[in-house]
Structure 1
Amino acid sequence: MRADRLLSLLLLLQNRGRMTAPELAAELEVSVRTVYRDIEALGASGVPVCAERGPAGGYRLVDGYRTRLTGLTDAEADSLFLAGAPGPARELGLGAVLATAQLKLRAALPAGPADRARRVQERFHLDAPAWFRDADPVPHLTEVARAVWEQRVLRVHYRRWGGEDRRVVLHPLGLVLKSGIWYLVALADGTPRTYRIARLLAADVTDEPFERPDGFDLAAHWAESSRRLESALHKGTARLRISPRAQRLLPMQFGAAGTRALETAGPPDAAGWVRVEMPVETEAVAVADLLRLGTEAEVLGPPELRAAVARTVTELARRYAATP
């Protein structure tokens, strides 16, 4: 197609500098007469092509002209350098590839966006894992990624949450990095399921291909499954009275649930304490979570949760009152 040829012609002049009509014709596998017509078409479209006569002549772009055929805005170019988190890329075995790609991208960008991209890398760093948590060991991540990319059946030895080991045949659909933890979304017996990569004891990529479900959207599936998991985990609602300090701690310790609780908090009392409602998991998990707030919070209800916290605190007081 002529549009593709004009694009190739423009990139040749941009990357190689001055070229003669015969050289361009040889590269594009067209006649010299076609090159002449294409040069005229580029000029008519606003591309500043200069024709220089003589033995050292040829065609070249006006000094300083570079096309931005990608259409990248400055902000879009910046985002590409932010998106390349080096840690996850390294875990996938793509660390060197990412570094090379960023070098190539920076070299291809005009001076302004290239300088902005360099400043973004100097001033911003993405660290996905949560605080005070070591990264999961993921020795089988590279094999899983290969199976996902090549659309190959994967045989895994997997340790479930309860400690039970299982051998499963999977059709891997995609990988998700959530809070520094890698997950595999895969079909097992025709049903999409989620597997934590760190719980894989072995992973064998077979030569057997499989067909992806038509229209499967990894991001949409993950969002929906996350919503279902959150709904299943939250067994009730705790009513709390929390201090000003606990109000600052709530979003850090309970994430979005803590933020939403503060948004619907009641008016503060004379000491600045407010009443909030927050979804909680099972009673045992809720007790452990709420005790992280220490004396900065009081459980008002439900009565059974308040009683469970009181029992735990009483046992702790008895234990620490005894001489070790």
Structure 2
Amino acid sequence: MKTERLLAIVIKLLNRKKMTAKELADYFEVSVRTIQRDMEAIELAGIPVVSEKGLNGGYSILENYKIHNSYFNDVEHQLLMTALDGVYKTYDDKNLKNIIEKLSSIKMHQSAPESQSLILDFSDWGPESKRQEKVRSIQKAIDTQKVVQFRYIDINGNSSTRVVEPVSLILKVNKWYLYAFCTLREDYRLFKIGRMDDVQITEKRIDPSREVPPFDFTHDDRERVRLRLKFQKQALNQLEDYFELDGLEFHEDGCIYVTEYFPEDEWVYGMILHFGNQVEVLEPEHIRSIIKERAEKILEKYI
């Protein structure tokens, strides 16, 4: 642990140029005296540390000192930084931040590119959401091997209290999920972070003897229904959120037809209703009836 902290201190000084012992102590959650001993160890390792006293003083590393930068070429380095920065926008883990700072220090003396051809951002639109706070809390529970309790709203709108043994946080298509053993269902389940509320880390520890099956997003054994939809051309700009454009049928009547197979659940009904009057369900008949009934109930609220 000490060795990792020493390396992290060097990286921070390379990136920040100057930091006080108090700033370093607060960041690494140690005492000022520990930081002073760390700086002595860094100097003994041959790294040229400069110590300045006074109001604007602090620790820094000699200006011409730099880490060997031949590990990555410029393109590789930029791609790594872009990917890590994109993840960090939604997952502000200190270990991830340290990795970014280490990579930054490798190329820190080179000029920045004139333009960035690729930008990755996995965060939500707008300011930081409470969802990120839940992600941090769940990650802490995974790290400390603690059981988590929360209120969960399923896809049908039903609420239940869940007590789970968290295994993995999963970020897929800009959405966070928790893979965990659910004591209510006595099996491993996938929970959508956005449907979790009142997340609490308990004092109970995860059962270390439980065998954890790997999660596979591609495996879904639910029965699928053949869906035939007719869209107005005005819906084209939204269709790419749900369907591949090369699977769309453009007819002479100006409408767009789609044939797709989905597991039938509330997500399917919500997806169809999302398009409002720009969509018509052609098949199957029972889903057409469900959408008609729900549309009539919506109309009743405005009469």
Do these two structures clear the TM 0.5 threshold for a shared fold by scoring above it? yes
Maintained 8 Å contact 2:229/2:258? yes
TM alignment of 1:60-139, pairs within 5 A: 67-70=68-71, 72-82=72-82, 83-84=84-85, 85-90=87-92, 92=93, 94=94, 98-99=96-97, 101-109=99-107, 111-112=109-110, 115-116=112-113, 120=116, 124=119, 126-129=121-124, 135-137=129-131, 139=133
Match for residue 240 of structure 1? 229
**Does 1:156 pair with 2:142?**
no
Q: Runs of 4 or more off by more than 6 Å in structure 1?
A: 63-66
Q: For residues 184-223 of structure 1, give each alpha carbon's deviation from its aligned partner in whole angstroms, at most 9, with x where no partner exists.
A: 3234579543344534531135677836859x76xxx243
Report the Cα offset of residue 240 of structure 1.
Answer: 1.6
Maintained 8 Å contact 1:158/1:200? yes
Structure with a larger share of its residues in helix:
1
Which of 289, 292, 296 is the matching residue for 2:271?
289
Maintained 8 Å contact 1:240/1:276? yes
Between the aligned residues of both structures, percent identity stands at 16
The 3 A distance-change label for structure 1 pair 184 and 205 is farther
Match for residue 240 of structure 2? 251
Maintained 8 Å contact 2:89/2:121? no
Which of 164, 171, 181 is the matching residue for 1:177?
171
Match for residue 4 of structure 1? none
**Alpha-carbon separation, structure 2, partners of 1:308 and 1:173:** 37
The code of the aligned residue for 1:157 comes to Q
**Does 1:266 pair with 2:261?**
no
**Alpha-carbon separation, structure 2, partners of 1:223 and 1:187:** 16
SS of the equivalent of 2:89 reads helix
Maintained 8 Å contact 1:240/1:299? yes
**Alpha-carbon separation, structure 2, partners of 1:132 and 1:281:** 32
The 3 A distance-change label for structure 1 pair 205 and 302 is same
**Alpha-carbon separation, structure 2, partners of 1:290 and 1:147:** 37
Report the Cα offset of residue 241 of structure 1.
Answer: 1.9
TM alignment of 1:205-220, pairs within 5 A: 210=208
**Alpha-carbon separation, structure 2, partners of 1:199 and 1:245:** 37
Structure 1 residue runs of 5 or longer lacking an equivalent are 1-14, 16-25, 29-62
RMSD of aligned Cα (Å) = 4.3
SS of the equivalent of 1:176 reads strand
The code of the aligned residue for 1:306 comes to R
Maintained 8 Å contact 2:231/2:255? yes
Which of 179, 190, 194 is the matching residue for 1:194?
190
Report the Cα offset of residue 78 of structure 1.
Answer: 1.2
Q: For residues 32-86 of structure 1, give each alpha carbon's deviation from its aligned partner in whole angstroms, at most 9, with x where no partner exists.
A: xxxxxxxxxxxxxxxxxxxxxxxxxxxxxxx99984453x232321122222333
Match for residue 34 of structure 1? none
The 3 A distance-change label for structure 1 pair 289 and 109 is closer
The code of the aligned residue for 1:74 comes to D
Match for residue 49 of structure 2? none
SS of the equivalent of 2:226 reads strand
Report the Cα offset of residue 304 of structure 1.
Answer: 2.3
SS of the equivalent of 1:277 reads strand
Structure 2 residue runs of 5 or longer lacking an equivalent are 1-13, 15-43, 47-63
Count of aligned pairs between the two proteins: 234
Maintained 8 Å contact 2:150/2:161? yes
Maintained 8 Å contact 1:140/1:202? no
TM-score, L = length of structure 2:
0.58
**Alpha-carbon separation, structure 1, partners of 2:207 and 2:285:** 55
TM-score, L = length of structure 1:
0.55
The 3 A distance-change label for structure 1 pair 282 and 80 is same
Match for residue 34 of structure 2? none
Maintained 8 Å contact 2:228/2:282? yes
**Alpha-carbon separation, structure 2, partners of 1:146 and 1:136:** 16
